[in-house]
């Protein structure tokens, strides 16, 4: 499956380079029009993720108009419950899923009890070979392959972002995603730097879902061709 991303900041849809520099900005309506017909979207509240406010009203409105996984600043069980009640297909949990020494199993166990295993997707964001949290500012000692097994009892799938390639339009690290695919039987979503249709095809062929952002917003990837590939996948 191919999943377009709607990243929210200051009430607008944005794309950032390396999570820092704003490269482009769109309205929510423009993004929804572009992605009409895709079976699932990723909606990420960047303001909530970095602790500079939130776009909660916009997220709630989006969930009435599309099927989506939602993430960004989900740090409490109560917040995850609110998102599910608002219509989120799944909740993406990032920083709160980890402690400084590994997996935050206490929080995740409470989350499973509240919203159920299948509703939880854990983010495994990687930079320089290590897991990063707190808006990609804090580097943990753990590697992605260290945590994916420990996270297995607490989620219905994983979103892995290759931060090193995020927003650069220079291609992604396919081997990273292939290695993670081999380490779990649960759904895996690849994000960060996916630039060409060839990369998308290789990932999908390996049983990996693909989250797309910068490449389709800039036109580097033709939205028409991406739609056609999704139609192939659906059939």
Query: Low-confidence residues of the chain, pLDDT below 50?
Result: none
pLDDT digits (tens, 9 = 90+) for 135-162: 888 899 999 999 999 999 999 999 999 9
The closest of 86, 117, 122, 92 to 104, measured between CA atoms, is 122
What CATH number is attached to the domain comprising 41? 3.20.20.70
- According to the model, what pLDDT value does residue 234 have? 83
Are 183 and 149 within 8 A, CB to CB? yes
pLDDT score, position 18? 78
Compute the distance between CA of residue 107 and CA of residue 121 in angstroms, rounded to an integer. Answer: 14
Annotated catalytic residue 7: yes
Residue 17 has a pLDDT of 83
Q: Specify the number of domains making up the chain.
A: 1
Of 29, 47, 125, 234, the catalytic one is 125
Residue 137: the pLDDT is 85
Residue closest to 187 by CA, chosen among 119, 94, 115: 119
3-state secondary structure of 102: strand
| Structure confidence at residue 50 (pLDDT) | 85
Its domain, for residue 93, covers 2-234
Predicted pLDDT at 134: 85
Say which of 7, 54, 164, 234 is annotated catalytic.
7
Report d(CA 129, CA 131) in Å as an integer.
7
3-class secondary structure, 157: strand
């Amino acid at each position: 499956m191919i999943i377009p991303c709607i990243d929210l900041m200051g009430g607008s849809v944005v794309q950032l380079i390396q999570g820092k520099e704003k490269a482009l900005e769109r309205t929510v309506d423009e993004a929804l029009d572009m992605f009409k017909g895709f079976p699932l979207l990723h909606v990420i509240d960047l303001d909530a993720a970095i602790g500079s406010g939130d776009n909660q009203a916009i997220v709630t409105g989006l969930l009435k108009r599309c099927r989506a996984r939602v993430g960004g600043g989900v740090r409490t069980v109560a917040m995850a419950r609110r998102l599910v009640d608002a219509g989120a297909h799944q909740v993406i949990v990032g920083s709160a899923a980890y402690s400084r020494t590994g997996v935050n199993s206490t929080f995740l166990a409470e989350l499973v009890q509240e919203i159920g295993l299948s509703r939880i997707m854990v983010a495994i964001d990687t930079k320089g070979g290590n897991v990063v949290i707190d808006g990609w500012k804090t580097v943990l000692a753990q590697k992605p392959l260290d945590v994916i097994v420990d996270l297995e009892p607490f989620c219905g799938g994983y979103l892995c972002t290759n931060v090193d390639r995020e927003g650069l339009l220079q291609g992604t690290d396919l081997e990273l995603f292939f290695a993670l695919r081999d380490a779990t039987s649960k759904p895996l979503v690849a994000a960060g730097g996916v630039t060409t249709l060839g990369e998308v095809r290789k990932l999908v062929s390996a049983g990996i879902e693909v989250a797309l952002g910068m490449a389709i917003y800039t036109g580097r990837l033709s939205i028409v061709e991406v739609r056609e590939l999704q139609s192939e996948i659906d059939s």
